[in-house]
Amino acid sequence: MDKEMTLYEDLQWRGLIKDLSSEDLIDKLNNEKLTFYLGTDPTADSLHIGHYSTFLVAKRLQKAGHNPILLVGGATGLVGDPRGTGEREKADAKVIQSNFEKLKAQVERLFGIKCVNNYDWFKDVNYIDFLRDYGKYINVNYMINKDLVKRQLEIGISYAEFSYMLIQGVDFKHLHDNYGVTLQIGGSDQWGNLTTGIEIIRKLTGEEVYAFSIPLAVDSQGKKMGKSEGNAVWLDINKTSAYELYQYLYNLEDSMMEAYLKRFTFLGKSEIEEIMKKHLEAPEKRIAQETLAHEVVRDIHGEEEYQKAVEISRALFSGDIKKLPADQIGKIFSKVDHVDIKEEENIVDFLVNGKICSSKREAREFINSGSIYVNGDKVDSLEYNVGRENALDNKYVVIRKGKKKYFLGEFIDE
């Protein structure tokens, strides 16, 4: 954060404030030390890049002296929140618990934030008491006017998902009573749930608490960055490698760079302005993308993994496949066409049988023109055989056809 800006001004400049429950919150953010919380449901065993944006807001508040708590919704994850597009499938309790444990470990490692589970205080709640103690204080008209509920009402919403915002409101009340929480933050699609907690606390205690929402992280097409959109980039290195994360960030469009540097890094205003100035002078150098990739990969996975990702990228760009780490080849080429190899085979037959070339004639033409590479080496003979002796890690064969088209051959033990 640049010295000339307050915390709130910095959040605004970065485009990280959408809704604010009260103007009084501005002074509290700038001058007080608040205990606040953000929540996520354990519907997956890892956070993704969409979550990362919100968690960085928590980190910014933490750096300014505020105290964060993460609520992982073991209870709310079993119910499911309205998406506005249709009912969620019923969650498996064992999967939800397993996911909670993995998310807790991930968040504590990446962000150093205290983690709680709302299942701990909901598991013994009596249903009648819940309706009397909380349901009496929230009007149905209030609930159905919330955006996601209103949208889902048009196609049908279960009583369970309709009740979700009331449960989240009670979460705020519990954290307020037991941890001194006076602020909740979350994505803009959660605004109805955030304000329900404020309403419950005000009606039951007369006290004022606060919330602000954060614009959702979206890609260049305006789609939410998350698993529901099918474009998840995971923070778990076993689900999305550091190289894949690096490539994802490095290949983002120029039009997204300034917004992403503000949202996904801790670089200051003057630093980002200088980076964008250099980037616009020579966009082909992808200075902004490289900076973004460096900041994010290093923050999530560390400098060593970032350097590995850069080395892999350089090896692929130069065609020097043998420099790639053998244990990552399967992951690096996981999205290219895959060819199973059962036994040694002549290169022409291999290209045809693996559907890399449409015919033996085409295969011979590509070989004779020097356009077929195996593990980075140009194939210059029609007598070349693809066998285990030229496999990487005694398993993989990387085939390049032309300048950029890759295939991954893998020896299969029968």
At 414 the pLDDT is 61
**CA distances (Å), origin 318, targets 61, 121, 311, 314, 404:** 43, 56, 11, 6, 11
- 96 alpha carbon, distance to own chain's centre: 18
At 329 the pLDDT is 86
pTM: 0.83
**Helices 242-250 and 287-301: crossing angle, nearest 10°?**
150
Question: How far is it, in rounded angstroms, from Cα 398 to Cα 132?
Answer: 65
Can you read off the two tokens belonging to residue 203? 């009606």
> Within the chain, how many helices (H) and strands (E) appear?
20, 12
Instruction: Classify strands 337-341 and 405-411 as parallel, antiparallel or unpaired.
Output: parallel
In the block, tokens 């964060």 appear at 68
Are the beta carbons of 95 and 34 closer than 8 angstroms? no
- Report the length, in residues, of the chain: 414
Domain 337-411 has CATH 2.40.10.10: no
Residue type at position 356: I
Give, for all 414 residues of the chain, the pLDDT tens digit.
556 899 999 999 999 999 999 999 999 999 999 999 999 999 999 999 999 999 999 999 999 999 999 999 999 999 887 766 667 788 899 999 999 999 999 999 999 999 999 999 999 999 999 999 999 988 888 888 877 787 778 778 888 888 888 999 999 999 999 999 999 999 998 898 999 999 999 999 999 999 999 999 887 788 877 655 556 899 999 899 899 899 999 999 999 999 999 999 999 999 999 999 999 999 999 999 999 999 999 999 999 999 989 988 888 887 788 888 877 888 888 878 899 999 999 999 999 999 999 999 999 999 999 999 999 999 999 999 999 988 988 889 999 998 878 899 999 876
DSSP secondary structure, 49-94, as one string: HHHHHHHHHHHHHHHTT-EEEEEE-TTHHHH----SS-PPPPPPHH
Question: How far is it, in rounded angstroms, from Cα 8 to Cα 175?
Answer: 24
Phi and psi at residue 216, to the nearest 5°:
-65, 145
Q: What is the CA radius of gyration of the chain?
A: 26
Question: How far is it, in rounded angstroms, from Cα 264 to Cα 262?
Answer: 6
At 227 the pLDDT is 58
At 30 the pLDDT is 97
Can you read off the two tokens belonging to residue 373? 């590479």
Can you read off the two tokens belonging to residue 267? 């670089």
At 183 the pLDDT is 98
At 154 the pLDDT is 78
Please list, in sequence order, all residues whose beta carbon lies within 8 angstroms of the beta carbon of residue 271, skipping any fewer than 6 positions away. none
Please list, in sequence order, all residues whose beta carbon lies within 8 angstroms of the beta carbon of residue 329, skipping any fewer than 6 positions away. 392, 393, 396, 398, 408
Domain 7-217 has CATH 3.40.50.620: yes
Please give the CATH number for the structural domain made up of 242-318. 1.10.240.10
Domain definitions of the chain by residue range: 7-217, 242-318, 337-411
* 97: nearest Cα among 81, 77, 69, 123: 77
Question: How far is it, in rounded angstroms, from Cα 80 to Cα 78?
Answer: 6
Question: How far is it, in rounded angstroms, from Cα 405 to Cα 326?
Answer: 20
